[in-house]
Amino acid sequence: MSLFGKTARHIHGELASRRRLRIGVWFILAIVAVQLLLVQSERLAAVETEYFSVADRGAKAAALLEHKDWPLRLAQEQSINEGFRETFWTNETEGLAQAQLQTALLDISREAGVHTPHIRSGVSQPVSDLPGVYRIQTRLDAKYRPGSEVRLLHALATFPGQIVVDRLTINARTMRIRMIVSAYTIVSAAEDASSADAVSSSSAIPSPS
């Protein structure tokens, strides 16, 4: 008799003669079976989740294809874009945008009756998620006469270029007004660069064969 046969016969004899050993073996086999069922259940759940996710994306895509008003939607988006362009300032560079804001602030201050306005450049930074759009800040420090500070704030609030007052300090004792204002501008050079990068990225994607 082979070694395997002898070993199997010995194990069979041990199991036949020892009841506790048989119970222990069956208990271990039951645990292994439960573990296998749990693993298989997790796999089925993952497959089911992925299936429903793909099905949901497919349903949304089919719903989009059923819409027949894409020209109208495109026209609405273009109208919104034009509205943004009217709200934002437009300049070729950040430096020109800063100069335009400073000139506008200086003119508004003088028309409001604010004396000796001192204007300094502030922070200039791009707006996240809006390619080509920058937030330009400028600081104003000037002396004022009673009433001129109110006219200045009213002029800023009604200015068509949407100048935002970020910080305002009025000292009635020294008759000084300090403020930080900002405006949003479309920098055409940065916008063109973003468009060129987008075109370059899209052209780098290989077409499906």
**Is 34 in the same domain as 93?**
no
* pLDDT of the residue at 141: 94
Our CA angle for 103, 104, 106, nearest 5°, is 65
Most confident of 2-16, 117-131, 141-155: 141-155
Q: Which of 1-10, 117-126, 139-148 has the lowest mean pLDDT?
A: 1-10
In a domain, 45, yes or no: yes
**Is 113 in the same domain as 173?**
yes
205 falls in which pLDDT band (50, 70, 90)? very low
Which H or E run includes 58? helix 19-66
Tokens of 41: 């259940």
191 falls in which pLDDT band (50, 70, 90)? low
151 falls in which pLDDT band (50, 70, 90)? very high
Quickly list H helices, 67-163: 70-87, 94-112, 148-157
Structural domain that includes position 20? 1-63
**Is 96 in the same domain as 44?**
no
pLDDT of 45 > 90? The answer is no
**Is 47 in the same domain as 90?**
no
Q: Using an 8 Å Cβ cutoff, are 154 and 187 in contact?
A: no
**Is 96 in the same domain as 186?**
yes
160: amino acid identity, one letter = P
Q: Is 186 left (phi over 0), alpha (psi -120 to 50) or beta?
A: beta
In a domain, 102, yes or no: yes
**Is 170 in the same domain as 90?**
yes
**Is 34 in the same domain as 101?**
no
194: amino acid identity, one letter = S
Give dist(CA 78, CA 85) in Å, integer.
Answer: 10
